[in-house]
Amino acid sequence: MKLKKIRIDKVALAFIAPAFLLYTIFIVLPTVSSIYYSFTSWDGLSPNIKFIGLANYKEIFTSVRFRNALRNTLVLTVFISVFENAIALALALLVDSVKWGEKIFRSTFYIPVLLSGIVSGFIWKIIYNYNFGILNTLLENIGREGWKQDWIGNPKLALIMVGIVLVWKGAGYYMVIYLASLQSVSTDIIEASVVDGAGPFQRFKSITLPLISSAFTINFTLSLINGLKVFDQISVMTDGGPGFSTETIVYLLYKSGFNEGRQGYGTAIGIVLLFLIIILNMVQQKFLKRKETQL
């Protein structure tokens, strides 16, 4: 576009302005305010706000509870990202091979995505219920009473069970992307490789995998970021419990700020979380981009 320079900038500005203004005012400004609050001991109520410097951050880095939340967050996020993508890919491959009703299957696996987070939490809360839940009742009915568990009351299991709900809810979305990616692979290449004598696994490895790798990159990034922000299901299913076994950083942030009257401290946790997201994102981008180009 070789228009006069000054007019371009004005035009570009005009185009960008509304989005820029809205985004800055309603997202960026509050976030920056949060930074301010993170240096205070504000309880969220009183008009007096006391500046306490880095005290909140010091507490975060020495807090056992925060370390627990960090561990839970990382475990949950990795679990969700890995399984969402694995299942999504597997489903995509499956649906791709189906001879009839492919479009229908594509829609059906997407249905859980259409639910709201809290409703998915409610549904699975009933499924996981120890005494009346579908899962345990099913196990009883097939004679496997010994396998019954207190799915979300057992601190060793609760986090993973929450993760399963999120994987169930999110896989459909990623599947759609993988599916479309698969279908964009030109059949000529496939045919050529068949002629060359390549078996199905060989084809998968050398052709399919590289071509869906960019889909994989973005999917993994998205699922990672979303995994770090999980809130609704934890709130509805476990409230961070039993004990602290499903308390993630986001949840700890929310609890500190609202339930426990420590808005300043909670905000500091939020800032730390933000940094965590940024770092993880950068690391993961570098790693995946390299893999992508390698393939």
Partner 1 sequence: MKKRWIAGIMCIAMVASMLGGCASDNSTKSTQTDTKATEVLADGETFESEGDGSNLVSEPVQMTLAFADGDENAKAAITEIANRFMEQYQNVSLLIVPSNGTSYNEFLKTKSGVGEFPEIVEMRDPAGYVRAGILAPLSEDITSLLQTTAEFDGTVYTAALAAGDTRGIIYNKKYFDEKDLKIPETWDEFISLCKEIEELGDMAPLAVGAADIWHMGYWFYKIYDDNVLSQDPDFIEHCYDGSANWTSPEVLKTFEQLKQVFVYAQDGWSSTPDAQMPTFLVNDMAAMLYSAPYMFASIESADPDFEMGWFPVPDEEGSLRLVGGSVPGGWSISAEAAKDSNKKTVGEDFIKFFFAPENYAIYCETLNAIPSTKITPEFNRTQVMDDVIEATKNADNLSVLWNNRVGKDELPPDFRNFVYKTLIEMCQDSKTVETASIEIDDAWKTAIQNFNPITGVGIE
Partner 2 sequence: MERKSNHRIKPSGVIVFVLTLALTLLFLLPVFFAFISAFKTNGEILKNPVALPEAWGFQNFRDLFEKSDFLTATIHSVILTVVSEILIILVVPMSAYALARRENKFTGLVYTFFLAGMMIPFQLYMFPLFKELKMFHLFGTLGGTIFVYVAGAVPFGTLLYHSFLKGIPLEIEEAAHIDGCTPFQTFWKVTFPLLGPCTASMLVLNGLSIWNDFLLPYLSMPINRAKTITVEVYSFVGQFTARWDIVFAGTVISIVPALIIFILLQKYFVKGITAGASKG
Closer residue to partner 2 (CB): 155 or 235: 235
- The CB-of-63 to partner 2 minimum distance in angstroms stands at 18
Confirm if 165 and 124 have CB atoms less than 8 A apart.
yes
With CB under 5 to 8 Å by kind, the binding choice for 293 among partner 2, partner 1, none is none
With CB under 5 to 8 Å by kind, the binding choice for 282 among partner 2, partner 1, none is none
Q: Is 116 left (phi over 0), alpha (psi -120 to 50) or beta?
A: beta
With CB under 5 to 8 Å by kind, the binding choice for 260 among partner 1, partner 2, none is partner 1
Cβ neighbours of 188 (radius 10 Å)? 8
Closer residue to partner 2 (CB): 133 or 163: 133
Dist CA 84 CA 164 (whole Å): 9
Give the phi and the psi of residue 177 in degrees, each rounded to 5.
-65, -45
- The CB-of-247 to partner 2 minimum distance in angstroms stands at 13
Q: Does the N-terminal peptide bond of residue 18 adopt cis geometry, omega within 30 degrees of 0? A: no
Cβ neighbours of 41 (radius 10 Å)? 16
Closer residue to partner 2 (CB): 114 or 283: 114
Closer residue to partner 1 (CB): 24 or 186: 24
User: How far from 282 is each of 71, 167, 215, 287, CA to CA, in Å?
Assistant: 19, 23, 17, 9
Closer residue to partner 1 (CB): 43 or 102: 43
Q: Which residues bind partner 1 (CB under 8 A)?
A: 14, 18, 41, 43-48, 50, 55, 59, 63-65, 128-131, 150-155, 158, 238-245, 255-256, 258-262, 265
Dist CA 64 CA 68 (whole Å): 6
- The CB-of-244 to partner 1 minimum distance in angstroms stands at 5
- The CB-of-53 to partner 2 minimum distance in angstroms stands at 19
